[in-house]
Structure 1
Amino acid sequence: MLEETSEKKAVTLAEETSASASINNVDQEVQGWDEKATRRLLWRIDTHTIPFMALIYLLCFLDRTNIGNARLDNLESDLNLHGLQYNDCLAILFPFYIAAEIPSNIMMKRMRPSIWLTFIMVCWSACMIGQGFVKNYSGLMATRVLLGVFEGGLFPGVNYYITQWYCRHECGFRMALFFSAATLAGAFGGILARGIAEMSGVGGLGAWAWIFILEGILSLLVSFGAYWAIYDYPATARFLSKDERNEVQRRLKEDHGHLSNDFDMKYVWQALKDWKIYIHMLICMAGFCPIYSFSLFLPTIITNMGYTANNAQLMSVPPYVCACFFTVTASWYADKYRQRGVFLLGFQLVAIAGFAMLVGTANPAVQYTGTVFAAIGIYPQIPLGVAWNSGNIGGSLKRGTGIAMQIMGGNCGGIIASYVYLSRDKPRFIPGHSILIGFVGMAFFLTLFMTIWCRRENARRDALERESGGRPSELTEEQKLLERELADDVPWFRYTV
């Protein structure tokens, strides 16, 4: 049985190698892919894939966090929530969100992205609309559970999807463009909530209910076009010519070598046993915890600085706008210089400074400036961290599983975030801000450790390659088969630092 499997893999590998050689010949003889042509090709992919992915993530993040805006429009009093019940409704989403992530990324591998992403989007939109009609604590808890189940697959799924189109050093900027939608969701949510507040009493519903219903309807309308707007993979992309499709596949093969794209559960187990991914899970958790705390409670924090509810909705916009700018800019430079750790360390220090300003003074102007610094520091960490982790995992299925694991770890931070800011700690919320300083500090030291480890491991592999006289230019089929099995443990693989 084992021999049969090996033979099949060898045949598959031989076919892929032959196809790869054919692609290379076509490209060299017909297309002549120079730097300018490659830039045009990447721009073509960018314009057809990233904008729609950013749009659906904006709607996803908006639907998940708009409860923070709804809280200012009498959500708690209308549903008779007391004690920690509001916090419970925030937290209940995340265990189900986390549980959905690895299965969802496996479904992304098994099914076409256009089918799977459309399905989960329609389902979470329906849950969002239903959330506007709940009458009590139990109803709100139930809709939040369903929202977590269906939203859980989007973020890891889209990050995995991006790695199927771009080389490792090109993913970070695209992930940042996609993730920047989360910052825009915060800004857009504040403006939208301010307008919807005027609908209080329409149809016998409170303004908080209309926030859920209208934003859910918006997501549902967009989901109806998702099946046609999402292009599955380069090999079937209708917007690319045959030569362009070949070139995209050639670049990906060159970037990832002979590492496996097979659907084999052993690559899932490889990811589950890789200690490096668990470090990235902790870094991601320490990044998402302040992000969720920020997005769920920023309107409340600003209100407790002495501003009215309506003004607090609008004043929550500028921190997100600043965060969006730095998220995209930092990831562009990180891709350009092929560095991740150094950028992460810098933004972690900015985040610590921002939360320290919130802790250290009661002056509203300084506190508000602190929220801007905190937003600038925390949001760029996620695309930088996901690009770092995904670029350092070899093999398609292992990478998809590793990304899902990382986001699972991140969303554990969402559970903690639900209880960081408690009503009993207002108006300053000093314990909550201090907890977030601790989490970002943990991320700083873990990032420093991974940066040093990756540099040393690359140096060790360089030394081994020099001692062995360099990597052979031609590998036998058996050597290529072995490389497929080793994933990122192959001697020629170099980690992004």
Structure 2
Amino acid sequence: MDLKPSDNDAYAAYVETQQGNPQDSDAVVENPMLHIDSTESKRILRKVDLRVIPILAILYFLSFLDRGNIGNANVQGLSTSLNLKGNEYNWGLTIFFFPYSFTEPLCNILLVRLKPSIWLPSIMVAWGLVTTLTGLIQNYSGLLAVRFFLGLSEAGLFPGLAFYVSLWYPRSNAQFRLSLIFASASMAGAFSGLLAYLIVKMDGVAGLEGWRWIFILEGILTVVVAVLSYMFVWDEPQSATFLSEHEKAVLLELLNDTGTTVSANPQLGHSHSFEWRHVKAAILDWQTWFHCLGYWGAAVAVYALSLFLPTIIKGLGYSAANAQLLTIPVYFAATISCLLVGYFADLTGQRGIFTAGCYITIFVGYIIAVAPSRFIPGLTYASCFIAACGIYPAIPGLLALSSNNFAPTSKRAVGMAIQMGFGTMGGAAASNFYRTSDAPRYRLGHGLVLAFAGLGMIVMIAYHFICRAINAKRDKNAESTSQYTRAELVDMGDRAPTFRYKL
């Protein structure tokens, strides 16, 4: 076979392993497997956890805080101050998702080509500035402008974080780490209510309403953290100075659980190159669209809850201040659920079963909100608890599946970005589900969320059985892999006969 340097980063490793035996250029190159015991692997992963997960969780916490605080600001008088009419507030929410969704694939391409240590903090500075300026807007046009640019500047974060985790953790350990990061979103919901309750006490300071100070202070906090984060975001295992050379080799061997990676030698590097043909492969891959529809179902629910929970609770008969505080228990329960599901999904290796359980929990929550013939405030509040406990762990489960099942690396980056870009459009839909005229029960909004969650569950059940059938077929034809070199298997990614989909 004739490999060229432009074909793959695997080329360098392939050439290295062929030196001294040029006549055997088509032979399968075996990895020199390291003897790794579970104690050592756990120690190294814990070391990575301490350096990688906290800063990612902080970044996503502030991201979700800054995109969702508009719900808190609205119950404190944003719509009244800006003289919004009809569905103008809903359109202010909706416009965020258009730049956010359509630029996510491009952002992950940039992340692959650029350094994460530069890209992630830089976009954080940008959205922090936009959040701060939101506190100064004076009309509907200003609201549309800041929400558009907030979506544009935040677009690269979550798909970037989900892909970034796949560079550091084996497939079997990914969901709990994603859950740790995504749990910060539910924590952001809880802190958003508490911060809003405290910040609005500044009403009248410098002649500004309390809701404006929510954006100004939270935006300034984001900018400060962003500047500091340049020092704490690492690029990839090979360049991590907190790992020894032996630890790098062990970690890369742990990452080699797909059967397609060339080498665990950190001097040779992992396959992180970008190629445009992988963009095409991701777009045309059958599983991309299953991931998109599955994620859509959960994304509709998570944005419906995060954007409208304060409004829903206020409609139960509470004051604006108490509505802010009553969001905290809901998000606290969601955080615990997210962490527990992520932990046990990794422990058992069962992604699909736990994700299906999350969808069922969402169904139960929204059915309780929709089914009763009369409005019962306490029952509606309970339904928010139950739904949140299914919504927040569902997202890491869906992302873990796509992170596990896309290969090679650049295809994974694009495939996951398409999944989140398409799925995030569910937020644009959810922004218009809860109309003022439907208060306080919001039966139409709850019913639409229920329908989309049902679609997501059906699609992911079908995906599970398709992947299982493909795995069974590859197991049956396992002997046919001898015709490929390891470099070819790397290049084939999830289409390689040695690749097994995680279920």
Same fold judged by TM-score > 0.5? yes
TM-score category, normalised to shorter length: over 0.9
How far is the alpha carbon of 1:243 from its aligned partner? Answer: 1.3
Cross-structure match for 1:12: 12
Output the amino acid matched with 2:282.
Answer: A
Q: 1:254 to 1:297 in 2, by over 3 A?
A: closer
Give the alignment of 1:337-348 within 5 angstroms.
337-348=348-359
Query: Does the CA contact (< 8 Å) of 1:9 and 1:481 recur in 2?
Result: no
Cross-structure match for 2:501: 495
Query: Does the CA contact (< 8 Å) of 1:61 and 1:185 recur in 2?
Result: yes
For each residue in 1:116-143, what CA deviation from the matched residue of structure 2 results, as whole angstroms up to 9, or x when unmatched? 0111000100000011001111111111
Q: How many Å separate the matches in 2 of 1:366 and 1:336?
A: 34
Structure 2 counterpart of 1:203, from 206, 210, 225: 206
Identify the structure with the greater helix proportion: 1
Output the amino acid matched with 2:433.
Answer: V
How far is the alpha carbon of 1:7 from its aligned partner? Answer: 8.7
Q: How many Å separate the matches in 2 of 1:238 and 1:400?
A: 24
Cross-structure match for 1:92: 95
1:72 aligns with 2:70: no
- The CA RMSD measured in Å over matched residues stands at 2.0
Q: How many Å separate the matches in 2 of 1:100 and 1:8?
A: 25
- Of all paired residues, the percent bearing the same amino acid is 38
Structure 1 counterpart of 2:260, from 249, 257, 262: 257
Give the alignment of 1:7-406 within 5 angstroms.
11-15=11-15, 17=17, 24=32, 27-28=34-35, 33-255=36-258, 257-258=260-261, 260-361=271-372, 362-406=375-419
How far is the alpha carbon of 1:22 from its aligned partner? Answer: 12
Q: How many Å separate the matches in 1 of 2:10 and 2:313?
A: 61
For each residue in 1:405-439, what CA deviation from the matched residue of structure 2 results, as whole angstroms up to 9, or x when unmatched? 11112211010011010001111100110101101
Cross-structure match for 2:477: 464
Q: How many Å separate the matches in 2 of 1:332 and 1:18?
A: 41
How far is the alpha carbon of 1:347 from its aligned partner? Answer: 1.2
Cross-structure match for 1:436: 449
For each residue in 1:426-458, what CA deviation from the matched residue of structure 2 results, as whole angstroms up to 9, or x when unmatched? 111001101011011111111111111111221
Output the amino acid matched with 1:310.
Answer: A
Q: How many Å separate the matches in 1 of 2:339 and 2:460?
A: 20
Query: What's the TM-score once normalised by structure 1's chain length?
Result: 0.93
Q: 1:11 to 1:459 in 2, by over 3 A?
A: closer
Structure 2 counterpart of 1:414, from 423, 427, 433: 427
Q: 1:9 to 1:140 in 2, by over 3 A?
A: closer
Q: 1:5 to 1:15 in 2, by over 3 A?
A: closer
For each residue in 1:360-396, what CA deviation from the matched residue of structure 2 results, as whole angstroms up to 9, or x when unmatched? 3322211111000010111111100000011011100
How far is the alpha carbon of 1:253 from its aligned partner? Answer: 3.3
Query: Does the CA contact (< 8 Å) of 2:5 and 2:12 recur in 1?
Result: no
How far is the alpha carbon of 1:5 from its aligned partner? Answer: 5.8
SS of corresponding position for 1:229: coil
Q: How many Å separate the matches in 1 of 2:457 and 2:391?
A: 12
Cross-structure match for 2:267: none
Q: 1:10 to 1:455 in 2, by over 3 A?
A: closer
Query: Does the CA contact (< 8 Å) of 2:433 and 2:445 recur in 1?
Result: yes
How far is the alpha carbon of 1:223 from its aligned partner? Answer: 0.5
Query: Does the CA contact (< 8 Å) of 1:394 and 1:488 recur in 2?
Result: yes
Query: Does the CA contact (< 8 Å) of 1:58 and 1:182 recur in 2?
Result: yes
Any unmatched runs of 5+ in structure 1? none
Output the amino acid matched with 1:491.
Answer: P
For each residue in 1:48-107, what CA deviation from the matched residue of structure 2 results, as whole angstroms up to 9, or x when unmatched? 100110011000000001000000111001111111110010000101011221111111
Q: 1:8 to 1:439 in 2, by over 3 A?
A: closer
For each residue in 1:450-471, what CA deviation from the matched residue of structure 2 results, as whole angstroms up to 9, or x when unmatched? 1111112211211222xx3x75
How far is the alpha carbon of 1:206 from its aligned partner? Answer: 0.8
How far is the alpha carbon of 1:251 from its aligned partner? Answer: 2.2
Query: Does the CA contact (< 8 Å) of 1:299 and 1:313 recur in 2?
Result: yes
Query: Does the CA contact (< 8 Å) of 1:394 and 1:487 recur in 2?
Result: yes
1:427 aligns with 2:440: yes
Query: What's the TM-score once normalised by structure 2's chain length?
Result: 0.92
